[in-house]
Amino acid sequence: MHAYRTHKCNDLRASDAGQTVKIAGWIHRKRDHGGLLFIDLRDHYGLTQVVINTDNPLFEAVEKLKLENVISVTGEVVERTAETKNSKLPTGEIEVKLKAFDLLSAPVTDMLPLQVNSDEPYGEDVRLKYRFLDLRREVLHRNIVLRCDVVSSLRRRMNEQGFREFQTPILTASSPEGARDFLVPSRLHPGTFYALPQAPQQFKQLLMMSGFDRYFQIAPCFRDEDARADRTAGEFYQLDVEMSFVTQDDVFAAMEPVIYGMFEEFSAFNGKKFSVTPPPFVRIPYDESMLKYGNDKPDLRNPLVITDVTEVFARDDVQFKAFKGVLEKGGVVRAIRAPAVFDKPRSFFDKLNSWAQGEGAPGLGYIVFESEGGKGPIAKFVPDAAQAELRRLCGVETGDAVFFVCDMADKAAKMAGLARTKIAEDMDIIEKDTFKFCWIVDFPMYEISERTGKVDFSHNPFSMPQGGLKALNGDDPLKIKAFQYDCVLNGVELASGGIRNHVPEIMERAFGIAGYPAEAVRAKFGGMYSAFKFGAPPHGGCAFGIDRMVMFLADQKNVREVIAFPMNQQAEDLLMGAPSPAEPAQLKEVHIKLDLPKAAVKAAG
RNA sequence: GCGGGUGUAGCUCAGUUGGUUAGAGCGCCUGCCUGUCACGCAGGAGGCCGAGGGUUCAAGUCCCUUCACUCGCGCCA
């Protein structure tokens, strides 16, 4: 017989009755009836009930075993009587009658800081400090298995599409993503530092320039920025992809079956089957998304759309001064049609109005289009002819209401987007149990940086500007679009990508517009720059956030629920005790002298 | 760095307008129990009420400071 087990804890059925077996696992639960003792033995695969009674000389020893001790049990598989079968357990037809057991772990003597057999919501610091216990619990264990399976599915699907998985360096140079780098001091080159990659961006492009054609990697990415519920501190994983000789449509065509197929494969993970957008995913230009949805990551489960109705409120016969004043300064009016809300109580509209005030807007004006005409606080300022125009623009049917947001274009878009979500939530018309994908395309190449007030890249500086060098030389930089796109799922950005710039002149000019002199570009991205000069193929790709995709499938609000060993919000690993001070000798070797703020000196004490 | 929330038994939490000895469930210990499967029953141990300071006859409760955790802002392809 095997040293530890002949069967897993989910294997045995009535048909195995009579066999002598050995199973091994953790003591999940004990039910001690004095003369009769049940143990639920748990392993990765499931639970099996072990039974022993006082006839057995081992009874006393078994009775003393603690929860979470690891044991192996040898015994006979016995079919339970009809009334003692447990239909809730896959192995509930049988139990194992204990003949012998071995204690495989050191005996558990301390109080368990959290109970494995409970679904109580433990505090995160306890869960992270004793992550190995938390990981034994059902929900987290399942989530991590899901994550493994998702990664494995993605790999298989990428391989099937003709992609190969590459590895790229972890110790490298700073990349262009714009987040804070993690630095690693060089021992051999005093005063210099490696950066951990924020993404393998330059390497994957260099692989294309090295003549490989279809790259992917389940790539760790490191960014020294603060955490959020949906963003881990420090590190995360991307399905990183790059392809040569491709247009934007080729990238979409390659990725859609992978992402669709994977989501479809795991879409019933939570017990309820979610529908998944079949390819091709709808493509929405950035400008259209900002107008119709108020942001660049629309939740398409929400049926409401935003319409520009500036022209209506600009009419001479419309005398709504509150809006007129904003329009004179160059503002816009955006409208959201809420279908069939004429019979909603007054409080429905009042609550939305006070919500809008809470968001910093003066209010949320509206007109209800009833059969006898427009009603509501704004209606009297909008004569019939203008109301008819509103109905036409917004596609209003009798019984609908239209809400208005008036502000300068970017603020109006943002507020209208928030209102669109809020109205749909209050109406409870957001579709459930569905994964709705889309691509947002034609992102602007440049934007005015809010911090500096100067022209800067709005996304990836390595993206190809639409119109190429000619556009860079001739057009208003803020009007230039890039071959830059995002994949959005239910209002969350899942992926970003682009067709890359592979022409050195365009690269220099593109960076020049953003205020980086050519010498600086050559110094910072020398490898890329020189590769561009020696035969770079047109190429492009994208990167999908693994953690976020698993979060969606596991229906978790917090990314730490889909990562085996995450850091806490303060970027500390409570289990491993990282970060931790370095030995003076280690610091000396890498030529580092500490210069700590006073508070930290005290803490390090 | 900033703002909100939380901090009471090993764990999850309750604790009234400040008022006797700070409670419950789970876990732990002891005893009883031969068909449970969240077994049951009886009893017990276990508390620097995050820490420091203050107000008060009296503080878990009010005030100030501070620390920890968490959510968000800043930040972040």
- Give DSSP secondary structure letters for A116-133: TT------HHHHHHTHHH
Q: Strand B nucleotides below 7 A of a protein CB?
A: 1, 10-13, 25-29, 32-40, 67-77
pLDDT at A601 over 70: no
Q: How confident is the model at residue A452 (pLDDT cuts 50, 70, 90)?
A: confident
Please provide the distance, in angstroms rounded to a whole number, between the alpha carbons at the two ends of chain A: 56
Q: Which nucleotide is nearest to A230 (CA to C1')?
A: B71
A242's CB contacts (< 8 A; 6+ apart) are: A204, A205, A207, A208, A214, A215, A216, A539, A540, A541
Alpha-helical regions (H) of A85-244: 124-129, 131-134, 138-160, 201-209
Cα separation values, A565 from A9, A132, A494, A560, Å: 26, 9, 22, 8
Residue A50 forms beta bridges with which residues? A39, A96
Round to a whole number and report the distance in Å from the CA of A224 to the C1' of B7.
28
pLDDT digits (tens, 9 = 90+) for A105-127: 998 888 899 999 988 889 888 99
Span A566-589, pLDDT tens digits: 998 889 998 888 898 899 999 999
Global model pTM greater than 0.90: yes
Q: Is A222 in a helix, a strand, or coil?
A: strand
Residue A602: per-residue pLDDT: 45
Q: What is d(CA A271, CA A313) in angstroms, rounded to the nearest whole number?
A: 50
**Spatial contact of A340 and A399, defined as CB atoms under 8 Å apart:** yes
SS (H, E, C) A544-574: EEHHHHHHHHHCCCCHHHHCCCCCCCCCCEC
Closest CA to A157 of A241, A261, A277: A261
Distance in Å from B74's C1' to A218's CA comes to 30
What pLDDT is stored for residue A176 in this prediction? 66
pLDDT over threshold 90, residue A189 = yes
Which nucleotide has the least CA–C1' distance to A199?
B77
In whole angstroms, B61 C1' to A601 CA is 36
The closest of A185, A186, A174 to A222, measured between CA atoms, is A174
Q: Is the pLDDT of residue A355 over 70?
A: yes
Q: For chain A, how many residues are written?
A: 605
Task: Please state, in angstroms and rounded to a whole number, the distance separating the CA atoms of residues A223 and A234.
Answer: 5
Residue A605: band (very low, low, confident or very high) from pLDDT cuts 50, 70, 90? very low
- Residues A500-529: what's their mean pLDDT? 89
- Quick one: which residue's CA is nearest to B1's C1'? A226
3-state secondary structure of A250: helix
Residue A599 pLDDT more than 70?
no
Reply yes or no on whether the pLDDT at A529 is more than 60: yes
Q: What is the pLDDT of residue A366?
A: 94
d(CA A286, CA A93): 58
Residue A1 neighbours by CB under 8 Å, 6+ apart? A22, A74
List residues bridging with A227 in a β-sheet: none
Per-residue confidence (pLDDT) for residue A120, from 0 to 100: 85
Tens of pLDDT, residue by residue over A64-92, are 999 999 999 999 999 999 999 999 999 99
Tell me the mean pLDDT in the region A40-45. Answer: 96
Distance A265 CA to B75 C1' (A): 36
| Closest CA relative to residue A59, chosen from A67, A69, A51 | A51
Say how far apart CA A78 and CA A94 lie, in whole Å.
Answer: 5
Torsion sign (Cα): A300, A305, A306, A308: positive
Mean pLDDT of chain A: 92
Residue A598 pLDDT > 70, yes or no? no
The neighbouring-strand residues paired with A246 are none
Confidence at A177, pLDDT banded by 50, 70, 90: low
Of all nucleotides in the shown strands, which has a C1' nearest the CA of A179?
Answer: B76
Q: CA A485 to CA A439: how far, in whole Å?
A: 7
Give the span between the Cα atoms of A165 and A496, in whole angstroms.
19
Mean pLDDT of A15-32: 96
Residue A182 has pLDDT above 70, yes or no: yes
Position A458 confidence tier, pLDDT thresholds 50, 70, 90: confident
- Whether A236 contacts A192, CB under 8 Å: no
Tell me the CA–C1' distance in angstroms for A416 and B73: 21
